[in-house]
């Protein structure tokens, strides 16, 4: 989802993470992703019912889920549970550190919420689709770009600079960068909004230097951080603070407070500006500005509204990011086992020593077990008597974001407007709040940037409600029942209407070749997420995301349930922090030196 956006930095000439491409679709199709049917795609495909997607993403009937192939050795230095972006970043860096690491994934493909899937030659994203930052280089790059640098991997992308916005005030093409968005505000909102937005950027941009002074790859979860992060980068941090002046330095003290405090201190009152800020906060962090961490928002604002910014989309779909991380893991000797569902984490003498698979097989961990599952799902993997009651109570009391509705479509390009853009955001009613259910819909049509994700002459589309669908409406329903089918039809209507708005009068539901509707039960089932949740709804200033360590020695966590929180940059950083913590300070420092030389070279 959009909350998974990475902060971008466009630097000429383009580095290997993302070859810049013209706005027009490429004349040749990118190389098909491994396992896709691009080489023999039919000219037309019949419509596919939602339930035709493989029924069980973990262990197919007739298979026991035991380790096999390259991953069959049932022991490792570190066992990682789950192959979301956080788990893969952690495993990739551990492999780079020459640790024997084994990733266990319940699904039949890696990626967690970011996995992709293929239906009748249409390759769909299941999660994040709004990206930037693959061109970031150097110590201030975003966390995922830094991990890819460390692994020597790249993700070819197409670059663009705008998305369509449909709000109660009207519809317009929203452009990133400092001046273009001001023009949009002036035309569609008014001069007052322009002045307030300038005031916000003037306050935020200087603070961003402090927020970005400590590279994510330098952080670890122990006192060694004084050497790898604070000590190494203290001069640049001090320089940034001195350059901010008194007002900027005061703002920097609020980096760990809600972003609304910065907004309020500036006296911003324009309704559209406040609503727009809430929307960006919610899409990135799962909470509005009164709960979003200022550091996270300052980072995003600085990178989206600086000169030369760009958005990027992987030419081979979001699954290309997962492929790159998996390649990096295997390049350095790491292992990945699919259809390997972890049933429980083994605790001996108070320490995590391995896991037991659903097949009954035991996999031993010599140094640590790392869970990339949510905090609630991790708790369910642990024997209750091994977990302090206070920790159990804290996890159970942590509020959750709601779940998702998904709509995946495959259709002819003739079934949409000719000037179709890649991304669209629809807000039906500001008064309801951006976190209200059935109020905000995000739409991604990546095939407008290239034709490698669908048969010739076709588009793929992913629409979703961003973590606002109440799980309570779906809880206990039989997925095969008429009631379930009726509710899917009813609750998906808001997405269909948004798609019709974005694609224009040429669009017809009946002419779609593929139509898939996913519910919170789908989200829970395929991703094995507690209540299908997007993640913790932890508000800055009221509570903090837990660190990567747990009360159980040798058990660590990464992903959206840990610091820094929800979204692609956050989960990538969390995985890196765990990996760094599990090796010595000298090994960590050597990696930072090597990545620095690689970038400079």
pLDDT in tens, 361-418: 999 999 999 999 999 999 999 999 999 999 999 999 999 999 999 999 999 999 999 9
User: Which one is predicted more confidently, 479 or 130?
Assistant: 479
pLDDT interval class at 256 (50, 70, 90):
confident
In this prediction, residue 101 carries a pLDDT of 98
Kindly state the average pLDDT of the residues 71-95: 95
Q: How many CB atoms lie within 10 A of CB 125?
A: 26
Helix (H, G, I), strand (E, B) or coil at 47: coil
- Taking the model in full, what pTM does it have? 0.87
Kindly state the average pLDDT of the residues 545-573: 92
CA-only gyration radius of the chain, Å: 23
In this prediction, residue 60 carries a pLDDT of 40
Percent of the chain scoring above 70 in pLDDT:
83
Domain ranges of the chain: 64-118+131-158+315-399+540-600, 177-184+191-303, 401-534
Helix (H, G, I), strand (E, B) or coil at 89: helix
Top mean pLDDT of 239-253, 299-313, 492-506 is at 492-506
Q: Which of 156-170, 190-204, 282-296 has the lowest mean pLDDT?
A: 282-296
Q: How many CB atoms lie within 10 A of CB 245?
A: 11
Q: 580 CB contacts (<8 Å, ≥6 apart)?
A: 93, 217, 219, 220, 221, 228, 588
In this prediction, residue 307 carries a pLDDT of 75
In this prediction, residue 14 carries a pLDDT of 29
User: Which one is predicted more confidently, 461 or 38?
Assistant: 461
Phi/psi for 229 (5° steps) reads -120, -70
CA distance 505 to 507: 5
How are beta strands 403-412 and 157-160 bridged, if at all?
Answer: unpaired
CA distance 192 to 161: 24
Residue 49 confidence (pLDDT) above 90: no
Q: What angle do CA 304, 310, 316 make, to 5 degrees?
A: 125
Residue 23 confidence (pLDDT) above 60: no
pLDDT interval class at 181 (50, 70, 90):
confident
In this prediction, residue 136 carries a pLDDT of 62
User: Which one is predicted more confidently, 304 or 456?
Assistant: 456
Task: State pLDDT tens for residues 460-480.
Answer: 999 999 999 999 999 999 999
CATH 3.50.50.60 fits 64-118+131-158+315-399+540-600, yes or no: yes
In this prediction, residue 177 carries a pLDDT of 81
In this prediction, residue 423 carries a pLDDT of 96
């Amino acid at each position: 989802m959009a909350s998974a956006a990475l902060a971008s930095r466009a630097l000429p000439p383009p580095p290997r993470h993302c070859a810049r491409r013209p706005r027009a679709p490429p004349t040749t199709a990118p190389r098909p992703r491994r396992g896709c049917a691009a080489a023999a795609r039919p000219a037309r495909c019949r419509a596919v019912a939602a339930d035709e997607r493989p029924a069980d993403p973990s262990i197919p009937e007739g298979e026991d889920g035991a380790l096999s192939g390259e991953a069959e050795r049932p022991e490792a230095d570190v066992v990682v549970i789950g192959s979301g972006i956080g788990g893969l970043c952690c495993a990739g860096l551990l492999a780079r550190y020459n640790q024997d690491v084994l990733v266990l994934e319940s699904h039949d493909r890696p990626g967690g919420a970011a996995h992709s899937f293929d239906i009748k030659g249409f390759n769909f994203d299941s999660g994040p689709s709004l990206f930037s930052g693959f061109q970031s280089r150097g110590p201030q790059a975003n966390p995922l770009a830094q991990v890819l640098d460390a692994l020597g991997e790249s993700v070819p992308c197409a670059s663009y600079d705008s998305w369509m916005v449909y709000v109660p005030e009207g519809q317009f093409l929203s452009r990133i960068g400092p001046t273009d968005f001001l023009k949009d505000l002036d035309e569609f909102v008014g001069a007052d909004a322009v002045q307030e937005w300038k005031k916000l950027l003037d306050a935020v941009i200087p603070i961003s230097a402090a927020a970005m002074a400590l590279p994510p790859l330098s952080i670890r979860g122990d006192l060694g951080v004084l050497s790898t992060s604070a000590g190494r980068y203290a001069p640049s941090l001090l320089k940034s603070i001195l350059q901010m002046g008194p007002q900027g330095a005061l703002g920097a003290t609020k980096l760990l407070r809600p972003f609304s405090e910065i907004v309020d201190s500036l006296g911003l009152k324009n309704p559209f500006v406040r609503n727009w800020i809430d929307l960006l906060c919610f899409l990135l962090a799962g909470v509005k500005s009164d709960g979003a961490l200022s550091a996270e928002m300052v980072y995003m604002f600085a990178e989206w509204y600086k000169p030369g910014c760009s958005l990027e989309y992987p030419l081979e779909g979001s699954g290309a990011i997962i492929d790159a991380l998996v390649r990096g893991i295997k390049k350095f000797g790491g292992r990945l086992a699919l259809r390997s569902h972890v049933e429980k984490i083994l605790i001996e003498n108070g320490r995590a020593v391995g896991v037991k698979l659903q097949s009954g097989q035991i996999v031993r961990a010599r140094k640590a077990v790392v869970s990339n599952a949510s905090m609630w799902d991790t708790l369910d993997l642990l024997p209750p008597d091994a977990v302090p009651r206070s920790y159990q109570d804290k996890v159970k009391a942590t509020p959750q974001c709601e779940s998702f509705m998904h709509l995946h479509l495959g259709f002819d390009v003739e079934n949409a407007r000719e000037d179709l853009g890649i991304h669209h955001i629809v807000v039906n009613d500001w008064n309801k709040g951006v976190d209200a259910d059935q109020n905000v819909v995000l739409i991604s049509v990546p095939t407008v940037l290239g034709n490698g994700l669908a048969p010739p002459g076709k588009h793929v589309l992913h629409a979703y409600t961003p973590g606002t669908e109440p799980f309570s409406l779906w809880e206990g329903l039989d997925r095969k029942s008429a009631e379930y089918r009726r509710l899917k039809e009813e609750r998906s209507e808001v997405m269909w209407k948004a798609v019709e708005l974005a694609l224009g009068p040429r669009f017809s539901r009946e002419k779609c070749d593929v139509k898939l509707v996913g519910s919170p039960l789908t989200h829970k089932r395929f991703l094995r997420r507690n209540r299908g949740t997007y993640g913790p709804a932890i508000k800055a200033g009221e509570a903090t995301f837990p660190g990567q360590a747990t009360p159980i020695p040798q058990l660590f966590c990464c992903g959206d349930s840990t610091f820094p929180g929800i979204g692609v940059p956050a989960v990538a950083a969390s995985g890196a922090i765990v990996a760094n913590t599990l090796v010595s300070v000298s090994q960590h420092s050597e990696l930072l030196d090597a990545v620095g030389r690689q970038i400079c070279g």
